[in-house]
Amino acid sequence: MLKRLTAVAAAAATLVAVAAGPAVADKKDNTIRFAYDQVIENVDPYFNNVRLGVILGANVWDNLIYRDPETNTYKPQLATSWKWIDDKTLELELRKGVKFHNGEDFDADDVVYTLNFASDPANKSTQQTNIGWIAKVEKLDQYKVRIHSKQVFPAALEYLAGPLVIHPNEYYAKAGPKGMNEKPVGSGPYRITEHIIGKTIRLEKNPSPWAGSNKAVPKIDKVEIRMIPDRQTQVAEVLSGGMDLIMNVAYDQAQQLKAAPQVAVQSGGTMRIVFLLFNAGENAPGKELQNPKVRQAIAHAIDKKTMARTLVGEDAPVLDAICFPTQVGCDTGEVTKYEYDPAKAKKLLAEAGFPDGVTIALFAYRERPQTEAMINYLRAVGIKAELKFMQYAAMRDQHRANKAGMSHQTWGSYNVNDVSASTSAYFKGVDDDMTRDPEVIALLTKGDTNIDAKVRQNAYRLAHKLISERAYAVPLYALVTWYVQSKDLAFRPYPDELPRFYEMSWK
């Protein structure tokens, strides 16, 4: 039943065969050329939801706190120390001697302006799920701030060490998100020197790195990022030496590319979960998905174990909830598990009043072979899934406008190791929650805002139980990212799906 990717594998084999000898890495101008398959709508980390934005955030900007990718321990970054004054007040001492790429000095004004601006819903940051917990940030003196949360928020340090970067206040107040997109300014190891919107982003190493950063001073002078949606074009580029690094290569294709002498192929685990999300709310574009039996039929129709093994890799973990297994609160002890059972899927469709099947649009934005495999599974039980494939921002807008009944989603939680960054992002009544189940919202809110670990765990367990019983989504698996790179590039993948350009070097 699963459509094998023979065409993709054959194309990869052809590219390997025709590649004209080993390509030489571009050491002459000390530049990494990196391709990504998504177009970023705005490089300002507070105004995009794509992985390329997270990658840029880590390389171009800095956080108050740094989380070590090996030990997961918190270390000082723009903040040198922090302490809880009470359950809702975090006080931070800030680092002296840091300059932004435009020469502005870093101090408390930058923290106060950035976090207050981004957390204000009126400014329409796409990061409200990550920053909406902040009530206000106040300046105590030039190098000390207090962050006040709206409610108790035990995962605060995770977010401050992840998606919440700091901008220079004077520049940001004038330029705004539009200006930050056109001429970005951070304080990280690399600075953006050119942004050709929708096509290319060029980085150069920070000429004035600040002392004490947990991010290494780059050994490679420049990075050129090209947005190339077509995978085959990316593969051809890396085989010919036009690119030094690509990621998110399909599993079958990555195996074929191991035969090419001029490249190296690596895999890395990720926190990126894959799932089908249903618009089961009363404003759904079609009535079919408001029927729980139709949603349950879809869950039984898909063989996610086979998909994970054959399309992602043998090590891809199969999921039973909309969270990554290591995340605090990812408790699946009481979830309903929908085993692959086409006969049961057909029976549920008939009971729902659709014995002759049903037609539903399926929106997707990446991992197209996986989407197509699901379409084949659904067709086998009488569900015609009409594919609507587009860039992420377009799909997100369709989803939030209640025009997408069923969507193939992937979510990396911005590398935040807490359920508040995964399950809550889609079911706690915020932008991407199309179901708005009050019981689920109450449980997730309780889990997100309680410092008692047992209370949090119990609330999340019950929330996952209800989400699964009511089949608001179909959890599938976590992705394994396959990287293809020039053999001359020293590159180490981490499980957070973040290429750290500042750690790379030429062999």
CATH assignment at residue 161: 3.40.190.10
Q: Is the pLDDT of residue 15 over 90?
A: no
Are 370 and 324 part of one and the same domain? Answer: yes
Q: Is the pLDDT of residue 47 over 90?
A: yes
pLDDT per position as a tens digit, 109-168: 999 999 999 999 999 999 998 999 999 999 999 999 999 999 999 999 999 999 999 999
Quick one: pLDDT band at residue 382, thresholds 50, 70, 90?
very high
In a domain, 159, yes or no: yes
Residue 499's domain spans which residues?
Answer: 35-225+487-506
Give the integer Cα–Cα distance in Å for 88 and 91: 10
Q: How much is the pLDDT for 378?
A: 98
pLDDT per position as a tens digit, 467-481: 999 999 999 999 999
Are 436 and 495 part of one and the same domain? Answer: no
Quick one: pLDDT band at residue 495, thresholds 50, 70, 90?
confident
Are 211 and 284 part of one and the same domain? Answer: no
Are 217 and 316 part of one and the same domain? Answer: no
Are 306 and 161 part of one and the same domain? Answer: no
Q: How much is the pLDDT for 4?
A: 41
Q: How much is the pLDDT for 26?
A: 59
In a domain, 242, yes or no: no
In a domain, 231, yes or no: no
Angle ∠(12,234,30) on CA atoms, nearest 5:
125
Instruction: Name which of 468, 162, 216, 176 is nearest 333 in CA terms.
Output: 468
Tell me the angle at which helices 292-301 and 368-380 cross, rounded to the nearest 10 degrees. Answer: 110
In a domain, 7, yes or no: no
Are 176 and 298 part of one and the same domain? Answer: no
Please, are residues 387 and 406 in contact by the beta-carbon 8 Å criterion?
A: no
In a domain, 9, yes or no: no
Gyration radius of the chain's alpha carbons: 23
In a domain, 246, yes or no: no
Are 427 and 495 part of one and the same domain? Answer: no
Are 280 and 395 part of one and the same domain? Answer: yes
Q: Is the pLDDT of residue 21 over 80?
A: no
Q: How many domains does the chain have?
A: 2
Q: Is 192 helix (H, G, I), strand (E, B) or coil?
A: strand
Give the integer Cα–Cα distance in Å for 479 and 313: 8
Are 279 and 205 part of one and the same domain? Answer: no
Are 320 and 436 part of one and the same domain? Answer: yes
DSSP category for residue 250: -
Quick one: pLDDT band at residue 332, thresholds 50, 70, 90?
very high
Q: Chain centroid to CA 225: how far? A: 18
Are 460 and 499 part of one and the same domain? Answer: no
Please state the three-class secondary structure of 51-106 as a single string: HHHHHHHHHHCCECEEECCCCCCEEECCEEEEEEEECCEEEEEECCCCECCCCCEC
Buried b (16+ CB within 10 A) or exposed e, 408-417: bbbbbbbbbb
Are 104 and 146 part of one and the same domain? Answer: yes
What is the CATH classification number for the domain harbouring 385?
A: 3.10.105.10
**Which residues lie closer than 8 Å to 396 by C-beta, 6 or more apart?**
49, 432
Please, are residues 284 and 406 in contact by the beta-carbon 8 Å criterion?
A: no
Q: Is the pLDDT of residue 22 over 70?
A: no
pLDDT per position as a tens digit, 73-117: 999 999 999 999 999 999 999 999 999 999 999 999 999 999 999
Instruction: List the strands of the sheet with 31-36, edge to edge.
Output: 190-196, 200-205, 222-227, 31-36, 245-246, 473-486, 263-278, 406-411, 358-364, 383-389
In a domain, 143, yes or no: yes
Q: Is 41 helix (H, G, I), strand (E, B) or coil?
A: coil
pTM of the model: 0.84
Span 267-283, mean pLDDT? 92
Please, are residues 155 and 413 in contact by the beta-carbon 8 Å criterion?
A: no
What's the chain's average pLDDT? Answer: 93
Span 215-222, mean pLDDT? 98
In a domain, 254, yes or no: no
